[in-house]
Each structure stands twice: as C-alpha cells, then as structure tokens.
Structure 1
Amino acid sequence: MGSHYNNEANRDEETSPPVSPLSQSFNSSIVSFIVHVIFELETPITELETLDFLRTHLLPVNTRFSSIMERNKNGVLRWKRVGISVEDHLIVPTFPDGLTRKGYDEMLREYLSKIGCKNFSQEKPLWEVHLVKYPSMKGACTMIFKFSHALGDGYSFMRVFFKCCGRADNPSLPLTFPQLSLIKTQQQDHGIIGLGKKLFGLMGKCINTSYDLIETMFRTSFLEDRPSAIRYSGTSTELFKPFSVYSVTISLERVKQVRTKLGATVNDVIIGLISYMIHLYMERKKKLMEQYGEAADGLMMDSITNGASNMTICVMLNTRIFKGSKNLEDMIKAEAWGNRSSLVFAKLPTFPNDEQVNPLDFITKAKNTMDKKKNSMIFYLIDSILSTATRMKGQKGMDEMLYKSFKNASTSISNLIGPKEQMAFMNHPVSSCYYFTAGVPQSAVFTSVTNMDKLMVVVTLEKGFIDTKLFTSCMDEAFENIFRAAFGDNQDKDGNEIMKKSD
C-alpha cells in the first residue's frame, strides 16, 4: 500500500503551491480536523464504479487529491504532486455474514467510530474512500468519503460530489439549492427617522464588533468554559478518542413552521435545539447521579450544576457568504478551491437547574445572540485576525490558537445546505447524506445537513465520558417538545411526521 511516485514527483519543488496557514493548522500535531461524508445508497455500487469515480471525477477536480505536504529546502511547506494509485485509497471492509439490517446498521456505526479515530498517513494524499457493501437501515450500501480539512472546506468538497450527482427523478436536470439567508435584508426608512436608525445601528455594530474582537482574542488564548457534563475537565491532549455517532432526522417543514412563529432563522432553530438537547441531558444526568448516590462526587456535581451556566458554542461558517456569493450554486461552481472557513463564538442559551423551562426560550435566546453576531463586522475581520496572528506568533502560534478555539468552548456546530431534490450519485439514488468531523478536542461535536425536506442533526459523543444512551434519548425528544410548545399537542393529528429516529 502507499503512493507510487512518478516523474512528476521530481519536478521543480518551487512550482508546487504553498500550503496555506489554515490548512497547515488543520493537519498539525495538535489539531487534525477530518471530515467524513456518508452517502447511503438505495442500490448497490460496485468497486469498479467507485474506482471510476475516483479517477474521472475526484482526481481531476484539484491537484491536492494527488499531492502531499512536503517542506522544500527553504523550510516552506508545499503541496507536492505525486503519482498515486486510486486502489490504495479505496477500502472495502468485511463484516460478519447473516446479520439483520439493524445488525449491519450497528456494525456501520461502529465502523464509523473506528475509522474516525485514525489519522492519515502523511506519506500519501490526505483522503480515502470506504465502501461498505452491506445494507443499513437506510440503504443497500454505504460510501464514506474521509478527507482532511486541510484539503479544502465543505463547499470545496460539495463541488466534487454535485458535479457527478444528478436528480434521482430526472438525471437530465440539475440539482437546485435554497437561497442563502444568513443575513436578513431590512426595510429602508428615509428622512430623519431613517438617519437616526442608521446611526443607532452603526453604534450598535461598533459595540458588537468590539465585544466580538475582545472575546475572540480571549477565547483563542486563555478564556475557557467551565467543566460540565459535556466538557471534559481533565488534561488529556489525545485527539482521537473513541466516540459514538448518532443522528436525528427532522421534518424541515416543521422546522420552518417554528422558525416563522418565532421570527427566527433555521440556524437559530438549530442552535436553540442543540442547547435544549444539552440542557435536558445535564438536568437528567444530575438526577441520575442523585438517584444512584453519586451526588457525593462533589466535583462532578459542581461541573454539571455550575458548568451549565457558562457554555460557549464554536460556530463554523464559510466566508464565501460574505465575499459576493449570492447563492449556493455560485459557491459550488466557483473555482475558489480551498479553506474559506472561520470560527465565531456564541453563548449557548442556558437555564440552569430547571428542566421544565419552555423549550422555545432556547430558540428565542439563540436568535437574540445570533442577531448580535450578524450586526457585527467580526465575520469580515477574521481573515485579518488569522493573518496577524500568524505574522506575530508564527505557524505554531496559529496552530495553538485554532486548538484553543475548540478546546476552550463546550461544543461546536457546522452545517451544510444540500439540494432540494433527491440526489443520485453515479446514477444510484441517495437515501441519506450526512457528515461528521473528528480530531477536534471536544467531547460533543455537532453537524447539520438540510437535504430535500429533511434536517439531519448529527453528533459525535466521547465514549466513557458522555452517557450516550441518555444523550441520544434527549436528542430524540428535544424537537418534539419544541414543536409541541409552539403549536400544542393537536398539530400532529393530520399524520405528518415530526421526527424520525436514526441511529
């Protein structure tokens, strides 16, 4: 196994593009940010079809898929082109014969955890594909694309997939995507009233920007959340700890109904939903400890009680949104490959020591917090902050800053917006598509994907620290509680499904 070097590997190293500071940080010794994209297909796909996809679609998209990181004689880390054999990047696992679909589904989840705990070899390009040729609860087989975040961001990878994906109902038609709606357009007022509102808004934007700048500097250096039921209090620096993967699939139409009722965005609902999940878990974990006599563990009890009042979520955003991309088609079709990722810190809505709090309050608080973030220039300043940090502290300083960004926060969330229609990957209908991340120094990491009429929220939970069974039960319950709080118990009598479980 391994890369097969050819004559291209001996070309002038100075013609190889340098690795950006952010990409270096995503593949450093203290952070190894790895993205796993999972396609569950309705019909089996063969190894030959998969290899054909890798040769004809993946490799030609960008030279990084056939490059490794290597330092030249001047110590500059560059993307060095190498000759590769795609067979070396395709892995086909073997599971026991004769299991039920549920049994194979459990094997799939264990396999995801297994490969998620392994870093890449630096001797070959930083990607691989796993073809699981066994049925799951949602498909006939599963394709797992494992990429280092150093290769590119989520919208870079989306270009790879959607260039070879068509609509399942009509392959001749292109996939379409929802319009971006991160920042709302406001109605314009004229005259003295309009001028007053603009001045007041500018003053608020300056205050919010100043606060966000200070918070970012503190968060990336010394300011950290208290230990809690989801934030480990130990000093372990191990990146790839065993974890479980779990997901819930929610009706996007129901999410939009809640969004409309509260005047929020889908992202506000997602952050509020995650906050409510964590709240339920912490309150029930505390009760279980009291019930089984574990309350004597004062340190753990203090972490659950006090840590819940000071939690921060690290929100990953793509700065293409702020650089002229008006819709997702523009972002995917653009030739701007690379990492346009940025991090924003936001307080998680919390209501300590009260399980009976109104679930809608979490979304309302999340909306207020994110409205302040949107009324700030921090999004446009992040690149400058990173560049300044690299000049002042060097690459090692930037690595540490990225590491502390995650370590000092309680959890993180990233999201992707998928197409409105069902996809067909290489003419195989896709029944489920989601992703998760690994190599982040956090015990609970969330991702979300909107696709067709569904919202899927995925979480990785550190084994041995988080009570996976309890947390996942809270996930199953959370959105139903939110929806019923918004519309009452009778809104589901028409037969529409609020939420489907998926583990």
Structure 2
Amino acid sequence: MEEVDEPVSPTGQYLNSSVLSISILATLEFDIPIDASQTYFLLNTIFLPINPRFSSLMVRDENGVKQWKKVEVKLEDHVHVPIFPDGLSSESYVDYLQEYLSKIAMESLPQSRPLWEIHLIKYPTSNADGTLVFKLHHALVDGFSLMGALFSCLRRADNPSLPLTFPSSKQGMSSDSNRNSFFKKVTGFLSRFLNTTSDFPWSILKSSFVEDDRTPIRAGHEGVEFRPISISTVTFSLDQIKQIKDKLGGTTAQYVHSTLKNTSMVISNMIGPMEQMSLANHPIRGLYFMVVGSPQSLTVTIVSYMGQLRVAVGAEKGFIDDKMFTSCLENAFTRIKAAVCTMQP
C-alpha cells in the first residue's frame, strides 16, 4: 500500500521557514557513564516508531504545498559523539558542555534528512557521569507527540513495570484512588503541556510583529535568533516552593507565570515525574530543556523532577549574563523564603 504524505500544519511551516527555525534541546543527565552500544537499536525500535515525522522530510509537492515525506533514516547521520580533552575536572567539563550546547543551538538541522539528532556526551560533569541531548525541530512535535516520545523511551528506575506518576494537588489519597486517578493526572499534565505549546506560537508572533520596548532583557536588534546563546540552569526544592505558596495563599505560581509571559522573553514549563527515570538501564539524575532559535534575547524553561524544580536560562551572549541571571534567581528565592519564614501565621 502506497504511503500518503502528510500535510505540514501552518504552525509547523512557520516554525521551519526562511524567517524562523525553532528547535528544542532536551538534556538528560545520567548517574552512570554512557554505554552507547544500544543507541541504534533503541532509536530503531523505540524512537522512530513513535511518530512518522521522525522518519520524514519536509518537502514541497508539485503545487508548492509543504508535506511530510517518509524516507529511509540513516541513523549514523543523526548520532553525534563530541570529543573533548581528556583528564579535565568535572567543573571544566561543565564549561565544555555549555559551549557545546551553545554551538548546536546555533546550528540549523539539515533539511535533507529528518529534523532531529542526538548528542552523547561521555565526559563526567559536576551534574552527571554522562549526558544525552536530543535536538528536535519544533515543527516535528507538539505537546502530545513530544511527551509520547519521552515516555516511550523512559521507564521507572526502581521498577520499570510500574507507571510514572506526577505531582497532584490532592494529598493523602488511597492507593486505589491513586491508581484510578492516574489517567486523569497524565491527561491533565498533557493538557497543560499542550496549552504551553499552543501559547508558544503567540509569544513568537508577539515578538515578531508586536514590538516591546528595548529593555535589559530585550536587545531589540534584527536577527537576534541567529546570535549565539549561553545556557545555564539552577535548581530549587519543590517542598520549599510549596511552603512559600502555602504561606502566600497559593497564588505565587499563577502570578509569576502570568507576569513572565507578558514580558520580552519566551517561557515554557513542563511537569515531570516524581520517581527517578531510566533510559536503557541508565538512571537519570536530572533533566532540563531549552527552546532555541527564537527571536528573543532571553528564554526561560522550567521542569519538575523528583521533588526538584529545574530552571534553565538561555541568554543572548554579549547582552545578558546568564550566570548573573541565575545567581539573581537564587538570591531572590532565598530572600523570598527568608521573608516568608518571618511571616506571622
């Protein structure tokens, strides 16, 4: 049976055009060194079958309409293993990793093959014994397919036969209630992620056509999406955030999100699982993601995982000091926590 090409959505066409090319970097930090022997097998048997677009090119038909065309994937073209100097400290490898992320963030995915690639960093950093980076073009995936890709590849580290669970606003539920509500929690999670994803094109539209004033976080010059960025992260405790939220009446998260999404930045967030995950028997210590190629000087992404909130900052080099920005976030959180602790009940 002949395969029928799938039309590219208007959003997908805009996100992969002559004026804009948006990608996602998803970074997994492992507890153990990377064993790359299963890489091609896992890509063939788990990753590629998730979505036909992972095996497709974006092409124009005879009428000039963009379509997804199924092709044979040469996996060796999609797997990259960088070489860094040997014998360095873990702190030095953090710097090399950050420079490497900045490099691949600026590189365009070749249009001659499916729009994804993976990078295996086999050097130990202060955050991980090995690091895996997925780079996927945003035209490939919406919230549902991205999460489908993630959860099809990952398993619970303690018991792979059990499902991953996500934070719930209701505490003290019975185990039966927890099992019965699992589908609702996952559905709600996907819905929230999809809403975040659907808000993203509006933030791009706003930054492209509805111009904000120039500020310390918005350079306002042409071609900012083609300028190099630096990526750094900071981690906060979800328990401490919950304590702050409870003291302030539960409005902090909503207030912060509505404020940030009206400023000159991209902000995207994702709720992650409560249990530790693993990939091919590699326990995952931490994870974060970054949206790259957007026409803004500052991008902030947030993901929760194992009781921690990981905030990643992508900042235009030479305009925003990402280390100072994350330091300011940490200092602000410390001051808020101290102020809340002195509040009268």
Shorter-chain TM-score tier: 0.7 to 0.9
> Which amino acid letter does the alignment assign opposite residue 453 of structure 1?
G
Mark the structure with the bigger radius of gyration. 1
Q: Given the alignment, which residue of 253, 259, 265 partners 1:267?
A: 253
1:265–1:28: structure 2 CA closer, same or farther, 3 Å change rule? farther
Is 1:232 aligned to residue 219 of structure 2? yes
> SS of the residue aligned with 2:6?
coil
Q: Given the alignment, which residue of 317, 327, 331 partners 1:477?
A: 331
Gaps in structure 2 of 5+ consecutive residues? 171-201
Is 1:247 aligned to residue 206 of structure 2? no
For 1:70, the equivalent position in structure 2 comes to: 59
Matches of residues 70-469 of structure 1 in structure 2 within 5 Å? 70-179=59-168, 219=206, 223-234=210-221, 236-265=222-251, 267-268=253-254, 270-271=256-257, 313-314=260-261, 346=262, 410-469=264-323
* CA distance in structure 2 between the partners assigned to 1:221 and 1:124 by the alignment: 28
Gaps in structure 1 of 5+ consecutive residues? 1-7, 182-214, 276-312, 315-345, 347-408, 490-503
CA RMSD of aligned residues (A): 2.4
Query: For residues 271-298 of structure 1, what are the alpha-carbon distances to aligned partners after superposition, in whole Å with 9 as ceiling and x for unaligned?
Result: 38xx7xxxxxxxxxxxxxxxxxxxxxxx
1:180–1:33: structure 2 CA closer, same or farther, 3 Å change rule? farther
Aligned residues of 2:47 and 2:153 also touching (Cα < 8 A): no
**Displacement after TM superposition at 1:265 (Å):** 4.9
> Which amino acid letter does the alignment assign opposite residue 309 of structure 2?
L
1:102–1:146: structure 2 CA closer, same or farther, 3 Å change rule? same
Query: For residues 401-427 of structure 1, what are the alpha-carbon distances to aligned partners after superposition, in whole Å with 9 as ceiling and x for unaligned?
Result: xxxxxxxx5112101110011111121
**Displacement after TM superposition at 1:178 (Å):** 2.5
For 2:189, the equivalent position in structure 1 comes to: none
Q: How many residues align?
A: 311
1:222–1:51: structure 2 CA closer, same or farther, 3 Å change rule? closer
* CA distance in structure 2 between the partners assigned to 1:261 and 1:438 by the alignment: 36
From the two aligned structures, give the one with the greater helix fraction.
1
**Displacement after TM superposition at 1:143 (Å):** 0.3
1:222–1:84: structure 2 CA closer, same or farther, 3 Å change rule? closer
> Which amino acid letter does the alignment assign opposite residue 332 of structure 2?
A
1:223–1:128: structure 2 CA closer, same or farther, 3 Å change rule? closer
Aligned residues of 2:269 and 2:303 also touching (Cα < 8 A): yes
* CA distance in structure 2 between the partners assigned to 1:108 and 1:411 by the alignment: 24
Segment drifting more, 258-267 vs 430-439:
258-267
Aligned residues of 2:55 and 2:71 also touching (Cα < 8 A): yes
The percentage of counterpart residues that share the same residue type is 45
Is 1:18 aligned to residue 11 of structure 2? no
> Which amino acid letter does the alignment assign opposite residue 252 of structure 1?
L
> SS of the residue aligned with 1:104?
helix
* CA distance in structure 2 between the partners assigned to 1:164 and 1:257 by the alignment: 33
> SS of the residue aligned with 1:254?
helix
* CA distance in structure 1 between the partners assigned to 2:70 and 2:111 by the alignment: 13
> SS of the residue aligned with 1:440?
coil
> Which amino acid letter does the alignment assign opposite residue 145 of structure 2?
S
Is 1:37 aligned to residue 26 of structure 2? yes
> SS of the residue aligned with 2:233?
strand
Query: For residues 317-352 of structure 1, what are the alpha-carbon distances to aligned partners after superposition, in whole Å with 9 as ceiling and x for unaligned?
Result: xxxxxxxxxxxxxxxxxxxxxxxxxxxxx3xxxxxx
Q: TM-score, normalised by structure 1?
A: 0.58
Aligned residues of 2:314 and 2:322 also touching (Cα < 8 A): no
* CA distance in structure 1 between the partners assigned to 2:141 and 2:298 by the alignment: 23
1:220–1:106: structure 2 CA closer, same or farther, 3 Å change rule? closer
Q: TM-score, normalised by structure 2?
A: 0.84
1:176–1:472: structure 2 CA closer, same or farther, 3 Å change rule? closer
* CA distance in structure 1 between the partners assigned to 2:55 and 2:88 by the alignment: 38
> Which amino acid letter does the alignment assign opposite residue 296 of structure 2?
Q
Matches of residues 484-499 of structure 1 in structure 2 within 5 Å? 484-488=338-342
> SS of the residue aligned with 1:239?
helix
**Displacement after TM superposition at 1:166 (Å):** 1.7
> SS of the residue aligned with 2:226?
coil
**Displacement after TM superposition at 1:179 (Å):** 4.0
For 1:358, the equivalent position in structure 2 comes to: none
**Displacement after TM superposition at 1:39 (Å):** 0.3
